Every structure is written in structure tokens, then in C-alpha cells.
Structure 1
């Protein structure tokens, strides 16, 4: 099912995206001409990787009635500006006290099911084109 995201430009360097009933606000850092009033689009991209892996870890625990107090996830982004394909996302999962050792490999495999990660690993095709409001067609 196609998902539509409507983008608006509320002023300055702000760019907002509306998806379903949610509005995601972005801005640029002050060094890039923004007011730094919201996360930058690239910040949201990186956060989507970490939060997607996180929801899979959380659901893994919840489906097995494993308490999640103390469950934490950290992602370090190692950017390689000379070769972006050599950049690395390093995800570190802190397990809650008493987490069963027999599930450690399984929870990591569950995190690998993250749709954001899988999309990056097998990227979609991108197209850009002009939409003309005056004719209502592209």
C-alpha cells in the first residue's frame, strides 16, 4: 500500500513532513542557516534505524514476558565522508538484569528484522519529477 508524505516549508530552514495524522518537524543546525528548533532530516534518518531496531528488541522481550526495565539501545554512527558506503551503524543493546542468556543471539536476530535496516541493505529505486498544480497532473 503506497504511503504518502506531504512536505511543507513553514519558514527559515524548516521543512515539515505530514504522514498520516503526524507532523514531523525538521530544521537545520545554526551552522547550516537554521534555528536548530528541531532535529535535522539526517538525524531523523539515523534515529529511524535505532528506534526500529529498538522496537524489535522491545517486542522480543514483551512476547516472552521478559521485564524490560533496564533495556537500552545505543547506536553509534561512524560516518566515512570519503566513502559513505563504508560508514557503519554500531548498535549496542543493554539487556535488563536477569535477561536469559539463551535468548541473547535471538534478540540480536530480532533486531536485524528492522524494516529500516533491511531497506537500506536493499535500497529502493528513487524517482523525482515535477508536479504542476496549474494542470493537476505531473
Structure 2
């Protein structure tokens, strides 16, 4: 089980340690930060995109398919009043010489992203006092 330990190094920065990795977050100036690191929300969105990217890359490597030009772009739509996240749109760009016979299969592979699945069937989050 992964344990994430959080600390507060200063300002509105929040640091997370997971295993041997340290992840720093900050806020933009309009939210009191110095923009020295991505915001937690930016990391959340990045985790969706990088997870999908891993599945795309693995699909290509397992089949010895080209990866030059392989890319994923993530765009979001928010509700205009509540600012609630409504849509995450990922656009998969394939290499120019990517075989057409694998196009639907790579989409199915990318759709297996575990971060996306966690959003589709969200876990219960419990908050307790120590």
C-alpha cells in the first residue's frame, strides 16, 4: 500500500513524499503562492494524461510500433458558474506511419488507464483525526 506523507515547507507550498520521491506543489500568485511548482490540481490533471501516455507507449513498444510523434494533449471544460470540472478531453496523436489496423486497439488500451478508471468509479475518501 502506498503511503503519502504531507508536509508544509513554507508559504502555501505543500510537499508530498511517496516512497523515495518528493513532490512539491504551490499555488499561483492570485491564490497566495509563488508559482514555484505545479498546483495540486495541475498534478491531478497531469496524472490522468501521463497514465494514459504510459498505456499508449506500452502498446506501441509491445508491438514494436513507432513512437516518434506519439503524444497526448489534455483539455478540460469547467462549468461556467461553479467552476466544477465537467469534461476531460484527451487527444491522442499517433505517429504518421502508425498502422491503421491498430488505431482502435490503441484507443482501447489507453482507455484502460488506472487513473481514469479511478475517476470513473471513484473510491470512498475517509478523513479522520489522528
Question: TM-score under structure 2 normalisation?
Answer: 0.95
In 1, the alpha carbon distance for the partners of 2:62 and 2:15 equals 35
Unmatched segments (≥5 aa) in structure 2: none
State the Cα deviation string for residues 75-108 of structure 1 (Å, max 9, x = none).
11112253736x1111111101210001101101
Paired residues, what number? Answer: 129
Task: Give the match for residue 55 of structure 2.
Answer: 56
In 1, the alpha carbon distance for the partners of 2:16 and 2:87 equals 27
Q: Secondary structure at the match of 2:67?
A: coil
- Correspondences of 1:1-138 after superposition (within 5 Å): 2-80=1-79, 81-82=81-82, 84=84, 87-131=86-130
Task: Give the match for residue 136 of structure 1.
Answer: none
Deviating above 2 A after TM superposition, structure 1's stretches of 4 or more consecutive aligned residues are 81-85
After superposition, the CA RMSD in angstroms is 1.2
Give 1 or 2 for the bigger CA radius of gyration: 1
In 1, the alpha carbon distance for the partners of 2:120 and 2:71 equals 24
State the Cα deviation string for residues 53-81 of structure 1 (Å, max 9, x = none).
01000000000000101111101111225
Question: TM-score under structure 1 normalisation?
Answer: 0.90
Task: Give the match for residue 135 of structure 1.
Answer: none
